[in-house]
């Protein structure tokens, strides 16, 4: 038995396929056709049923033999994704008619995908490019399976469109609404978010330095800052709309208020991050306040400041989108979400959410990359 290398996922796949085969019909039309052999019903998986079973079982069995890891991963990858693709394309036109074997096969394909990721995760490649590739491939397969399961379950079980549209419908909506989405991104992100983020974070930073320099500000402003940063500031959005009007300025104002205090509190904490010894050292050089600030205290505070910038990147997006719920011109991501929900265009709402998620990730990623470049010396970045 030295050529065998069993895995519980693969064994379970074979088992699931056997149960699904024993249960018979994959969908209601197929069950009807089996019940009345003389009538000619059109039903899904007319040709591909055997192919799917064969793919899953063969991939599972092959994966349990002693193969090179990379070949095993490849077999699992092809088996899992080809079966899933056949499953999803086959249900086209027969949404909501799937029976138990459909979900069993979906589970089997998912298990193969799981095994594939597990095998890939155990790889320890030496080459840099291979490590980078693995770092990208593993989360990509992981994410793809969230979409595959979402798509297959919503379509197989026929979940109502307004509850949860399948990702393919959301994708189609995004592709067909690019000009609208682009205008919304322009209004919400490039005007309100960026402006508010830069001004709010910058003002928080300068206020922190002022508080550090001037004693009464430190004693007076900081306790208030700590308190205000705990408030749900998004509540001031309607007031900002009254003060600054329906345009992007009122949303930028909400973002400024939301990002100001995290930056203030973090920067003040960061300015005390340098050690006594380091400050004594600067003192022995008779270094002035500003020299000590720029050469010691601000570099030491950089990890704290970037922490605030990362927190603020998500806060700014939330602030701008929610603020648009309270009044806006007929453009903007928050405006689109609130009106399209009212019009039952749930796919458009999801499209906006997807775009917001993408924009937020890019925003956060850019800040994080910048952080790595600036605080390369910090143990959390250099790893040790």
Partner 1 sequence: MTGTSPAVVSASKLGLTFQTNDGPVQALTDVDLTIGKGEFISFIGPSGCGKTTLLRVIADLEKPTSGMISVNGMSPEEAREKRAYGYVFQAAALFPWRTIERNVALPLEIIGLSKAEQAERIKRTLELVNLSGFEKKYPWQLSGGMQQRASIARALAFDADLLLMDEPFGALDEIVRDHLNKQLLELWDSTNKTICFVTHSIPEAVYLSTRIVVMSPRPGRVTDVIESTLPRKRPLHIRETPEFLAIAARVRDGLRAGHSYED
Binding-site ranges for partner 1 (CB under 8 A):
275, 277-278, 280-287, 291, 295-296, 299, 302, 375-379, 382, 384
**Smallest distance from partner 1 to CB 377, Å:** 4
Could you tell me if 49 and 102 are in contact, meaning their C-beta atoms sit under 8 angstroms apart? no
Measured CA angle at 15 (ends 11, 17), to 5 deg? 115
Of 88, 113, 117, 112, the closest CA to residue 102 belongs to 88
Return the number of the residue (303 or 319) whose C-beta is nearest partner 1.
303
When the beta carbons of 39 and 286 are compared against partner 1, the nearer one is: 286
Comparing CB distances to partner 1, the nearer of 64 and 309 is: 309
Indicate the residue among 89 and 272 with the shorter CB distance to partner 1. 272
CA dihedral sign of residues 105, 108, 110, 112: negative
Residue 240, H or E segment: helix 237-244
User: C-alpha distances in angstroms, 361 versus 303, 343, 354, 358?
Assistant: 20, 28, 11, 5
What is d(CA 306, CA 98) in angstroms, rounded to the nearest whole number? 50
Of 324, 323, 325, 313, the C-alpha closest to 357 is 313
Nearer of residues 179 and 384 to partner 1, judged by Cβ? 384
DSSP annotation of 247 reads: S
Identify which of residues 38 and 280 has a Cβ nearer to partner 1 in the complex. Answer: 280
Can you list the alpha helix ranges (DSSP code H) found in 24-123?
28-35, 48-63, 69-90, 100-121
Spatial contact of 157 and 166, defined as CB atoms under 8 Å apart: no
Q: Which is nearer to partner 1, 44 or 303 (CB)?
A: 303
Query: From the CB of residue 164, how many other CB atoms can be counted at a distance below 10 Å?
Result: 15
| Phi, psi angles (nearest 5°) of residue 116 | -60, -45
Whole-number Å distance between alpha carbons of 383 and 83: 41
């Amino acid at each position: 038995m030295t050529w065998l290398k069993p895995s519980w996922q693969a064994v379970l796949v074979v088992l699931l396929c056997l149960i699904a085969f024993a249960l018979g019909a994959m969908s209601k039309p197929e069950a009807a056709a089996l019940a009345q052999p003389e009538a000619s019903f059109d039903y899904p998986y007319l040709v591909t049923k055997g192919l799917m079973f064969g793919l899953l079982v063969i991939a599972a069995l092959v994966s349990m033999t002693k193969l090179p890891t990379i070949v095993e991963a490849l077999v699992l990858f092809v088996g899992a994704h080809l079966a899933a693709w056949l499953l999803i394309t086959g249900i086209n036109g027969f949404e909501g008619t799937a029976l138990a074997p459909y979900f069993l096969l979906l589970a089997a394909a998912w298990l193969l995908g799981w095994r594939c990721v597990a095998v890939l995760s155990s790889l320890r490649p030496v080459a840099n490019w291979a490590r980078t590739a693995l770092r990208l491939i593993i989360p990509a397969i992981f994410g793809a399976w969230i979409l595959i399961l979402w798509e297959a379950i919503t379509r197989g079980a026929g979940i109502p469109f307004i509850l949860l549209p399948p990702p393919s419908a959301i994708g189609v909506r995004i592709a067909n609404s690019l000009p609208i989405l682009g205008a919304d991104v322009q209004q919400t992100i490039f005007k309100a978010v960026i402006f508010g983020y830069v001004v709010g974070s910058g003002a928080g930073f300068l206020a922190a330095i002022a508080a550090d320099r001037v004693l009464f500000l430190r004693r007076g402003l900081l306790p208030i800052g700590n308190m205000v940063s705990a408030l749900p500031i998004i509540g001031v959005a309607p007031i900002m709309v009254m003060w600054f009007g329906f345009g992007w300025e009122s949303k930028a104002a909400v973002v400024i208020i939301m990002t100001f205090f995290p930056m203030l509190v973090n920067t003040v904490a960061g300015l005390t991050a340098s050690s006594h010894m380091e400050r004594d050292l600067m003192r022995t050089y008779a270094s002035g306040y500003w020299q000590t600030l720029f050469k010691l205290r601000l570099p030491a505070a950089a990890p704290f400041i970037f922490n605030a910038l990362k927190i603020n990147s998500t806060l700014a997006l939330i602030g701008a989108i929610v603020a648009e719920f309270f009044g806006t011109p007929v453009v903007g991501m928050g405006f689109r979400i609130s009106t399209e929900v009212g019009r039952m265009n749930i796919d458009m709402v999801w499209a906006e959410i997807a775009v917001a998620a993408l924009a937020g990730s890019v925003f956060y990623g850019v800040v994080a990359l910048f952080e790595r470049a600036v605080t390369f010396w910090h143990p959390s970045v250099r790893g040790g």
